[in-house]
Structure 1
Amino acid sequence: MDGTALRGRAPALERREAGSETPLVEVKKLIEGVNRGFEEFKTANDRRLKELEQRGAADPTATETVNKLEGQIKKLSDELMDIGKKANRIPAGGSEPGAMDTPEKREHRAGWDKWARRGAITDHELRDLERKANTTLVPEDGGLLVPETVDGQILKLLRDESEVRGLFDAQAIGTTEYRKLVSLGGAGSGWVGETEARPATSGPQWTEIAGTFGEIYANPQVSQTLLDDSRVDLEAELAGEIAYEFAQKEGRAFLFGDGVKKPKGLFTAPMAATGDKTRPFGTFQFLPTGAAATLPTTAPGDLLLDVIYSLKKGYRRNARWLMNGVSLATMRKWKDNDGNYLWQPSLQAGEPGSLLGYPVTDLEDMPDVAANAMPIAFGDFRRAYRILDRIGIRTLRDPYTNKPFVGFYTTKRVGGMILDTQAVKFVKVAA
């Protein structure tokens, strides 16, 4: 029970780094490693639980082994997820699939590269190229539009960097005044006889929801020496730096943003314990744990089942769990009434493990288990929240402020809006 199958890095991973195995072989060995590790984990955890039942306390060595195996399973599971992400990643300097290249866009891209590296063309000249390449965009002050290859690459890298962005629906828009009408139903009807009058009935009710926006920025610094080196892929370098900066900021805003200079996040909507039939529009439902400042220890799977079936059937088709690694580590040890583990490892690269048959997203931004916290969410997050990407990422070249570095002050307007508060349920820890 010492986890030898998973200790350190699996041999398959070591050989992969040396470039001696195909991706298919890597995936197969990783899956085998996760499954072997999970079997060891179950055996060690069963022994720990038996000691708890018989003696009221577990051997510290047994607890340490369980925790070690759990950590190693997570490590290999993350490797599987990374392989799936890399398989769908656009090569450095590439553009989004299906993007239409034109002579005007190629000219703009070449001009932008000259401008970024040496300031070899003026802002006015680059603006003319920008207008030719993007005839549908309205010119605005405050920077020059980056080429579509960089714009698309940054957004693609944001999906790789930020699991939060991958959870939600995203839509590119041309204005920050984005509103959406939502039908609340309520059209009246009635039964009548063949010759009876048909009085007027009530019409359906509608409400309007609006996005909240903020401007996110990054200011990466690149040395002039690096810019002068034509072997360096400036587009990839810039996109990578910006993607990391944006992902850190916007991810938390989509979850917990207060709407002040940033989008309003999913968790900042009103919450109530009432069900869908009586809860007002715009309010999410939470289910209490029934245990003060912790998750339940008696029949814990019952809570998860209550969460699943509080969600309407149509939303369950694309539902998933959302929690951080600490909460997930606890649930990996949970069993149902028949002694079966609730969590099961993934059998496919790029796919997460499942909890009661639904995938789990391990997101470190989620709250820890604590009094009044909401550490677990479940539902169809794409139906619940929409990210609003303002078309166009703009940048200003600054070779003066921080010599010998050239700064690329880059801005992007991004917003968010809560769409459907019946699509996601939350677990709330009791006070």
Structure 2
Amino acid sequence: METAGEAPGGAEAAMEVKAALADFVSEVRAFQGEVKILVKEGQERVAMLERKMGGYGRPPLAAAAEVGVPHRKAFAAYLRTGDDDGLRGIVPEGKAMTTAVAADGGYLVDPQTAEAVKSVLVSTASIRAIAQVVQVEAASFDVLVDRSEVGSGWATETGAAAETGTPVLERVSIPLHELSAMPKASQRLLDDSAFDVEGWLAGKIATRFLRAESAAFVSGDGVDKPKGFLTAPKVANASWAWGSLGYVPSGAASDFAAVHPADCIINLVYALGAEYRANASFVMNSKTAGAVRKMKDADGRFLWSDGLAAGEPARLMGYAVLICEDMPDIAAGAHAIAFGDFRAGYTIAERPDLRILRDPFSAKPHVLFYASKRVGGDVTDYAAIKLLRFAVS
């Protein structure tokens, strides 16, 4: 029996609404459960990928580029795709001697990549390891050499003072030449974000620069390259004069003398002035070193001794030996061994910047990277280096 004021069928309608609302809430909760399951599965998949990739959520290059070093991310993007927007936002334009964007469209490498190249050059067996290396911001580097003494004389108390000699200054100008390398890689390889672009590029450039630099510092002719110390005029040490390098003979036409072969090494050491011997080093290639290290003194002791600790150079008669493969082999007339204070005798001048131009058009589907630096070198003290000439006299 229906109560007064209540619409017919009202109770049934209310129950139907409640039932529908309960079904809706149940479906929402079920949907939320499914979402939680999907989220959990997604998190597990991400965690699995991170474990496979060494604990990083992204490839190592991309992750390293984004954490505190936005210039690396921008530089990597430029190498892979040519996108320079990131570089323009980070690197100031139009300043010649900074990490600036050059007017010709080139970009200096970021500091971390440049340091990688530099470390490879310094750690190799090159004259660079013992020479004086200066960084300049000009087209050349001038060295002033004082090669004379002020005159003097004894005077009496009342006698007139006589004029004495005036010191003479020599100017040695070292022009800087451009050294370049142009490695290439496919665009597909560059698109792989897990590829270490900076490391690959640094290795390729370092190898090319090493070969060219090391050879030029020894035998470069000075034409569009550094002038090597072996290209300087050479005279017998007894006739030595400024502007040439003095040499002593080995005692045989194309080898060491058959009797007392070590005598020429001793003569070479003492042909160098005492003021230079304290910081002097021998320079020779591996073949020559193989012959020298067999030499003994009159008491049967080897003149050659290996370094006592890892990384220390071998020593000949107590002086360090630099094994430089760009030195000539033992042959008739060859100056196969040098001895001197190269920090005083040879100067390398270089610009501190390293530029890279990206060329995606000339060798499609490869991308060319033209890298360049400027470096020069020359003898700055002709008295600081002596040579051993393989000749009778």
TM-score by length of 2: 0.76
Question: How far is the alpha carbon of 1:298 from its aligned partner?
Answer: 0.8
Aligned residue for 2:207?
A: 244
Q: State whether structure 2 residue 183 is matched by structure 1 residue 220.
A: yes
Aligned residue for 1:181?
A: 144
Report the Cα distance in structure 1 between the residues aligned to 2:344 and 2:338, rounded to whole angstroms.
14
Q: Is the 8 A contact 1:253 1:262 kept in 2?
A: yes
Q: 1:320 aligns with which of 281, 294, 298?
A: 281
Report the Cα distance in structure 2 between the residues aligned to 1:401 and 1:204, rounded to whole angstroms.
57
Q: State whether structure 2 residue 232 is matched by structure 1 residue 269.
A: yes
Q: State whether structure 2 residue 326 is matched by structure 1 residue 370.
A: no
For the aligned residues, what is the CA RMSD?
2.5
Q: Which amino acid is 1:386 matched to?
A: T
Question: How far is the alpha carbon of 1:249 from its aligned partner?
Answer: 0.9
Q: State whether structure 2 residue 370 is matched by structure 1 residue 427.
A: no
Is there any run of 5+ residues in structure 2 with no aligned partner, and where?
1-60, 62-67
Give the secondary-structure state (helix, strand or coil) at the position aligned to 1:291: coil
Q: State whether structure 2 residue 115 is matched by structure 1 residue 152.
A: yes
Question: How far is the alpha carbon of 1:430 from its aligned partner?
Answer: 1.3
Q: Is the 8 A contact 2:330 2:390 kept in 1?
A: yes
Report the Cα distance in structure 2 between the residues aligned to 1:129 and 1:149, rounded to whole angstroms.
15
Aligned residue for 2:45?
A: none
Residues 79-228 of structure 1 aligned to structure 2 (within 5 Å):
106-121=69-84, 126=87, 129-131=90-92, 137=98, 140-142=102-104, 143-228=106-191
Q: Deviations over 1:376-410 (max 9, x none)?
A: 11122222111111221111101112222211111
Aligned residue for 1:300?
A: 261
Report the Cα distance in structure 2 between the residues aligned to 1:342 and 1:201, rounded to whole angstroms.
45
What is the total number of aligned residue pairs between the two structures?
325
Aligned residue for 2:196?
A: 233
Q: Which amino acid is 1:415 matched to?
A: G
Is there any run of 5+ residues in structure 1 with no aligned partner, and where?
1-92, 94-104
1:200 and 1:335, CA in 2 relative to 1: closer, same or farther beyond 3 A?
Answer: closer
Q: Which has the larger radius of gyration?
A: 2
Aligned residue for 1:355?
A: 316
Q: Is the 8 A contact 1:384 1:421 kept in 2?
A: yes
Question: How far is the alpha carbon of 1:111 from its aligned partner?
Answer: 2.4
Aligned residue for 1:416?
A: 377
Residues 24-35 of structure 1 aligned to structure 2 (within 5 Å):
none
Report the Cα distance in structure 2 between the residues aligned to 1:402 and 1:113, rounded to whole angstroms.
20
Q: Is the 8 A contact 1:178 1:210 kept in 2?
A: yes
Report the Cα distance in structure 1 between the residues aligned to 2:110 and 2:95, rounded to whole angstroms.
9
1:135 and 1:211, CA in 2 relative to 1: closer, same or farther beyond 3 A?
Answer: closer
Q: Which amino acid is 1:171 matched to?
A: V
1:341 and 1:396, CA in 2 relative to 1: closer, same or farther beyond 3 A?
Answer: same
Question: How far is the alpha carbon of 1:315 from its aligned partner?
Answer: 1.7
Q: State whether structure 2 residue 231 is matched by structure 1 residue 253.
A: no
TM-score by length of 1: 0.70
Aligned residue for 1:406?
A: 367
1:260 and 1:336, CA in 2 relative to 1: closer, same or farther beyond 3 A?
Answer: same
Q: State whether structure 2 residue 353 is matched by structure 1 residue 392.
A: yes
Question: How far is the alpha carbon of 1:237 from its aligned partner?
Answer: 1.3
Q: Is the 8 A contact 1:162 1:248 kept in 2?
A: no
Q: Is the 8 A contact 1:173 1:389 kept in 2?
A: yes
Q: Is the 8 A contact 1:212 1:264 kept in 2?
A: no
Report the Cα distance in structure 1 between the residues aligned to 2:232 and 2:203, rounded to whole angstroms.
32
